[in-house]
Amino acid sequence: MTRWVYGFDEIDAAKAAVDDDWDRVRGLLGGKGANLADMASLGVPVPPGFTITTEACNAFIAGDGALPDGLWDEVLTAVRDMEEASGKTYGGTDNPLLVAVRSGAKFSMPGMMDTVLNVGLNDEVAAAMIERTGDERFVLDSHRRLVQMFATVVLGMDGDPFEEILREHRGTHGVINDADLPPEALRATVDSFRAHVRARSATPFPEDPYDQLRLATEAVFHSWNSRRAFDYRRAAKIADDLGTAVNVVAMVFGNTGTNSGTGVLMSRNPTNGEPKLEGDYLLNAQGEDVVAGNRETKPIEQLADDLPDAAEELGAIARRLEEHYREMQDMEFTVEDGTLWLLQTRTGKRTAQAAVRIAVDMADEGLITKAEAVGRVTPDQVDFFLHPQFSPESLADLTAVAQGLNVSPGAAVGVVAFDPDLAERWGRDGRDVVLVRHETKPDDVHGMLAATGILTSSGGRTSHAALVARQFGKPAVTGASAIDIDMASRTLTVGNDTLHEGEWISIDGTSGNIYLGKVETVAPDLDNEWLTTVLGWADEFRTLGVRANSDEPEDAARARSYGAEGIGLCRTEHMFFDPERLPIVQRMITAPNLAERKEALDEMREFQRADFAGLFEAMDGLPVILRLLDPPLHEFLPSWEELHRHQTDLQLRLVRAADLETVERLVRELSEVHDMLGRVEALRETNPMLGLRGVRLGITMPEITRMQARAVFEAAVEVAERGGDPKPEIMVPLVSEATELARQRQLIDEVAEAVFEEAGRRVEYQVGTMIEVPRAALTSEDIAEHADFLSFGTNDLTQTTFAISRDDAEQAFLLQYLADKILTENPFASIDAKGVGRLMGIALDGARSTKPAIETGVCGEHGGDPASIALCHDMGLTYVSCSAYRIPVARLAAAQAALAAGAS
């Protein structure tokens, strides 16, 4: 028989049910339930209670909303146990027990599912409680909260009319806060609430405490499939079939007076990671008051003045729980008449900055190992350090129009949208949107995810907006009270300025500043000391090298400062696109004879030599792979279509020309265009990607290879003469037959010898090739004969393996393939392990059979993709190569791959 219910004092039984596997305990009891029971076993004060398992939720959903057999009997037994533990009775009039009914899935989904407090109250129970406590106001306030929450959460009613009724009663009694309403007003409020429920809901408010408990439990189960929970799961990549547990917890009251209170506490600062308690609380309040953001909370430091004993105990518990879980904790607590109770602890959500600092600090404190620290930072978090920030220059003469709380760092620039549906729609249209709200609610999540940034006029650091933004790395500013949002006119007013929906705003989640208009952003540098440390540790674990795809000395120097261990790919054609250089390249291509071509090539050699020298200097002592010219030559010439259009235009103008001078000029121009058109036509191919490119250029025009090789060796000699340590490696692209490489290598070696002889100095160098087409992969044992190294050009290898044009795919059917799940991943972003990966494996086996220790790498765009990096690690490649800004991520991903494979 399946067991559906576990008491908080039964963690051992729950563990035994799932082979003592903690992950499965969390799966069964949900994160909150598992931790409550775990805390109880550690001696942390937790109110009595029990957990209904996630399996019960799944059975309930599968059974179309019927509670599974046996569940209710187990609940009744568990309620008896709670009564015994607390000395109170549920639904009784002697010493009444009230309970909270809370959701709790395996992975925390803050605010996404339902909770009902004060369950078990009705008029009789209330009367008994008033008699016992003598606190009529407190009991009636609890009662009105129950009816209000039950109506909105369980019965699904609109919340506004209840707020309206409360407002009326406040008005009648001339008070501002609910807490100041006298008992008779609260009693009247409860009656008005119930009357409203009777009038508007098919189900009346249940007076029987057991009906309340059952309906609240079912509502929590149902909330697993609410739209907001569904949206959240999709974004957080949480599976839909996990289900939620239900925790039934004896109520403890933070609203019994000023010796009581409730709050949330993080064991470290979730924004910057500082090892210091961080949190908010309210005296004389109940849980939802703190997160709702409508009462001003106090910072946790003040608790020591208000409730010193509880503050001290809370600090000790935070430390104890951090030591136990070896993770930063996010706790909820309540103090009832001076007694502290922990209602929840979970792993705290944090910003990327905080994640990195906490991982490093915890390793330094000996709480976790360095390997664990490296494992706790995600590639996305490292990536966040590369997020745009506002450029100091653009801020220099700008003043912030307002400031709010800097709850999630980074700069966001977008057009204002006041509602989440609009934000989602505009986001889908590719617009940058800043979602601006009074405060966000769980129903807003789809709009928050579509926005580049989030701005709220109320709400604190632990508000819904702040939590969600941090988790998804969205820059956010909350609590910007100077901002006045008018939903009727859909405008935002701040001081004398008014902004309409659709106008630009810029927010800085790092400082909390808000600017009108579009502020310029720049990528930040990576100088963060904790990031540097954790990446340094990553380097200790990884065995895969990390190199840069870089064509320019300044970029190469940046890549080196980010940790690049050389250049894995310099696409030399990128050096030709400079507007000053292009005419020379065009002269080279269109030269009518060899002599003229050589003249142009000599000119090109001059600037290539300087380029290469710059790269050798930036990467002094490290390998620099320079790839010979790769693209089809017509790419350097004007487009055929454009020339054709130009020619037609000139012809028309010639027909209409009125004077001789114009005729002569047009004839001259026409002849030039005609000439160029002829040359472009001569080079034009139907499938240029499969045409005269890569090594085929060097074979048909060996003088290009000679020129490039000479530039490489002359630069190397020059740098060596200046005392540098250049390590040139020449790479031949798009080889599909070993003889191609053998011929090119011969040319390169001849040029090297000639240059060294002229210079009277030798420089060590290597010659290798790329594996970019299936035939190269399949014949790698022959290719390796002539290669010192191999590098997988996974862009072309993907293109040629799938026969999908890399230039067109993402504008055409590939997106539909992904949407229709014909392909689960974009193969141009993440290496297709099954097909392309298999070819790589064959190529490696072949090459290693010829040269066991041959150097191998990946230099396609996949070199910065964590999943592809893991594949490269597993295949024993020497390095991956990627753009400078992805190098930190690649270092981390390579270390995580090594750790996953058992490195320590």
Positions touching ligand PEP (CB under 6 A) are 569, 571, 630, 772, 793-796, 859-860
| Strand pairing class (789-792; 766-771) | parallel
| 143 labelled catalytic | no
Q: Which does 334 bind (CB under 5 to 8 A by kind): Mg ion, ligand PEP, none?
A: none
- The stretches of 452-567 forming alpha helices (DSSP H) are 464-471, 529-541, 553-561
Region of residue 131 (left: phi > 0; alpha: psi -120 to 50; beta: else): alpha
Smallest distance, Å, CB 786 to Mg ion? 19
Total of residues contacting Mg ion (CB under 5 A): 3
- By CB under 5 A, is residue 796 in contact with Mg ion? yes
Would you call 416 helix, strand, or coil by DSSP?
strand
Stretch that binds Mg ion, among 65-73, 309-317, 748-756, 795-803 (CB under 5 A): 795-803
Smallest distance, Å, CB 660 to ligand PEP? 50
- By CB under 5 A, is residue 832 in contact with Mg ion? no
The mark string for 723-752 relative to Mg ion (x by CB under 5 A, - otherwise) is ------------------------------
- Of 464, 634, 862, 873, which is the active-site residue? 464
Q: Is 235 exposed, middle or buried (0-12, 13-18, 19+ CB in 10 A)?
A: middle
Please state, in angstroms and rounded to a whole number, the distance separating the CA atoms of residues 635 and 791.
Answer: 24
Q: Is 345 exposed, middle or buried (0-12, 13-18, 19+ CB in 10 A)?
A: buried
Quick one: 322 or 861, whose CB is closer to Mg ion?
A: 861
Q: Which does 735 bind (CB under 5 to 8 A by kind): Mg ion, ligand PEP, none?
A: none
Quick one: 279 or 860, whose CB is closer to Mg ion?
A: 860
| 464 labelled catalytic | yes
Please state, in angstroms and rounded to a whole number, the distance separating the CA atoms of residues 154 and 443.
Answer: 16
Smallest distance, Å, CB 773 to Mg ion? 9
Please state, in angstroms and rounded to a whole number, the distance separating the CA atoms of residues 609 and 399.
Answer: 48
Please state, in angstroms and rounded to a whole number, the distance separating the CA atoms of residues 356 and 527.
Answer: 13
Site for Mg ion in 747-776 (CB under 5 A): 772
Smallest distance, Å, CB 553 to ligand PEP? 19
Please state, in angstroms and rounded to a whole number, the distance separating the CA atoms of residues 645 and 284.
Answer: 79
- By CB under 5 A, is residue 793 in contact with Mg ion? yes
Q: Which does 569 bind (CB under 5 to 8 A by kind): Mg ion, ligand PEP, none?
A: ligand PEP
Smallest distance, Å, CB 626 to ligand PEP? 13
Helices 529-541 and 352-364: crossing angle in degrees, nearest 10, is: 60
Q: Which does 355 bind (CB under 5 to 8 A by kind): Mg ion, ligand PEP, none?
A: none
Smallest distance, Å, CB 630 to Mg ion? 6
- Of 57, 570, 859, 882, which is the active-site residue? 859
Tokens 């949208």 belong to residue: 417
Contacts of 609 (CB under 8 A, 6+ apart): 711, 714, 715, 718
Smallest distance, Å, CB 550 to ligand PEP? 12
- By CB under 5 A, is residue 861 in contact with Mg ion? no
What is the C-alpha radius of gyration for the chain, rounded to an integer number of angstroms? 34
Q: Which amino acid is at 84?
A: E
Quick one: 643 or 859, whose CB is closer to ligand PEP?
A: 859
Please state, in angstroms and rounded to a whole number, the distance separating the CA atoms of residues 585 and 601.
Answer: 8
Quick one: 146 or 570, whose CB is closer to ligand PEP?
A: 570
Smallest distance, Å, CB 687 to Mg ion? 15
Please state, in angstroms and rounded to a whole number, the distance separating the CA atoms of residues 496 and 434.
Answer: 21
- By CB under 5 A, is residue 632 in contact with Mg ion? no
Q: Which of 534, 535, 546 is nearest to 873 (CA)?
A: 546
Q: Which does 347 bind (CB under 5 to 8 A by kind): ligand PEP, Mg ion, none?
A: none
Quick one: 534 or 615, whose CB is closer to ligand PEP?
A: 615
Please state, in angstroms and rounded to a whole number, the distance separating the CA atoms of residues 670 and 859.
Answer: 44
Q: Which amino acid is at 12?
A: D
CB 895 within 8 A of CB 542: yes
Please state, in angstroms and rounded to a whole number, the distance separating the CA atoms of residues 542 and 510.
Answer: 32
Chain residues that interact with Mg ion, rule: CB under 5 A: 772, 793, 796
Q: Which residues are catalytic?
A: 464, 859
